[in-house]
Amino acid sequence: SPSTLPDAAIARRLAGVKTILLVLSGKGGVGKSSVSSQLALSLSSSAGGAARVGLLDIDLTGPSIPRMLGLDGSPVHQSSDGWVPVYADREQRLAVMSVGFLLRSRNDSVVWRGPKKNAMIKQFLGDVRWGELDYLIVDTPPGTSDEHISLVEYLAPFSPVSLMVTTPQALSLADNLRSLDFTRKVSLPLLGVIENMSGYVCPHCTECTNVWGRGGGEALAQREGLAFLGRIPIDPGLVRVLDDAKEEAQVTVAQELGVEKVSLEDIT
């Protein structure tokens, strides 16, 4: 049964993956999924289009990656060589896997206990045909949860790294400190901090207003001895792009293969 897959399965699947990056946030709603998806898009269109990227969404509480990439409702298929990810582009440079693809409807929710979440993560790592990837970006749930512990356990042999997304209030949030503490306890390297929703650029005058302040992410990075990777302003245009992504670019190789569709029941 898939739940008893040896870690050798994960090793085989991830053999062609160069860099694994976990995207973390102290709490929900700070833009972790937005950053994950935009990062995946820009990496997969960088390097003259030569980079291949995987994006794994394991945010059970709100799998928003399919919607953000205009892939809502795309099926995951079972091939003779494992689950086929959904490709966001025709060139198949961005492979996406999300628990959202396995839900019957966008509004379905998943209420699972730890062991089942652990089994799901094992299957996403050990059963998906990721292929050769320059980057595998993992959008994790907010905070630190069972999912993070499972991920770090399974991924430790592949030396993953992480980055943290915060808002300008970063310095005052205990959740951020808990996330940082987690990375230290499990020796997960943290590349640095991104401050999202940092000020508002008025579309009429292009001047920046600091709605929720500015600089908390940078101050947190400084205080904790971390790299500050940059800030992203609040951008109404980004909300439109993210929340109303059109379903036009999606391609599923599996459709050509004529294979079986995978559903939540297949996670054992």
Q: Which residues are annotated as a binding site?
A: 26-33, 202, 205
Asked if 239 is part of the footprint of ligand ADP (rule: CB under 6 A), the reply reads: yes
> Which of 94, 242, 254, 267 lies at the binding interface for ligand ADP (CB under 6 A)?
242
Closest approach, Cβ 81 to ligand ADP, in A, equals: 31
Task: Choose the stretch contacting ligand ADP; rule: CB under 6 A; options: 29-37, 71-79, 80-88, 154-162.
Answer: 29-37
Q: CA–CA separation, 64 vs 32, rounded Å?
A: 10
How many Cα atoms are found within 13 Å in the side-chain-facing hemisphere of 258? 0
| 3 state SS of 198 | strand
Per-residue string for binding with ligand ADP, 213-232, x by CB under 6 A? -------------------x
What is the spatial order of strands in the sheet that 260-261 belongs to? 82-84, 77-79, 260-261
| Residue keyed to tokens 């399974």 | 154
Pairing state between β 77-79 and 82-84: antiparallel
Q: How many of the chain's residues bind ligand ADP (CB under 6 A)?
A: 18
Asked if 25 is part of the footprint of ligand ADP (rule: CB under 6 A), the reply reads: yes
Q: Could you say which residues in the range 33-52 bind ligand ADP, by CB under 6 A? A: 33-34
- Judge contact between 195 and 217, C-beta under 8 A: yes
> Which of 7, 16, 18, 29 lies at the binding interface for ligand ADP (CB under 6 A)?
29
Q: Could you say which residues in the range 194-213 bind ligand ADP, by CB under 6 A? A: 196-197
Task: Choose the stretch contacting ligand ADP; rule: CB under 6 A; options: 10-18, 23-31, 70-78, 102-110.
Answer: 23-31
Closest approach, Cβ 233 to ligand ADP, in A, equals: 6
Query: What is the distance, to the nearest Å, from the Cα of residue 212 to the centroid of all Cα atoms in its chain?
Result: 25
- Sequence-ordered list of residues with C-beta below 8 angstroms from that of 30, at least 6 positions apart, any chain: 142, 165, 166, 167, 196, 197
| 3 state SS of 242 | helix
Annotated binding site for [4Fe-4S] cluster: 202, 205
Nearer to ligand ADP, 234 or 262 (CB): 234
Q: CA–CA separation, 250 vs 112, rounded Å?
A: 29
Nearer to ligand ADP, 23 or 128 (CB): 23
| 3 state SS of 33 | helix
> Which of 146, 153, 224, 235 lies at the binding interface for ligand ADP (CB under 6 A)?
235
Nearer to ligand ADP, 119 or 197 (CB): 197
- Judge contact between 86 and 74, C-beta under 8 A: yes
Q: How far is CA 78 from CA 97, 170, 237, 265, 266, in A?
A: 13, 42, 37, 13, 10
Asked if 179 is part of the footprint of ligand ADP (rule: CB under 6 A), the reply reads: no
Nearer to ligand ADP, 165 or 254 (CB): 165
Q: Could you say which residues in the range 87-126 bind ligand ADP, by CB under 6 A? A: none
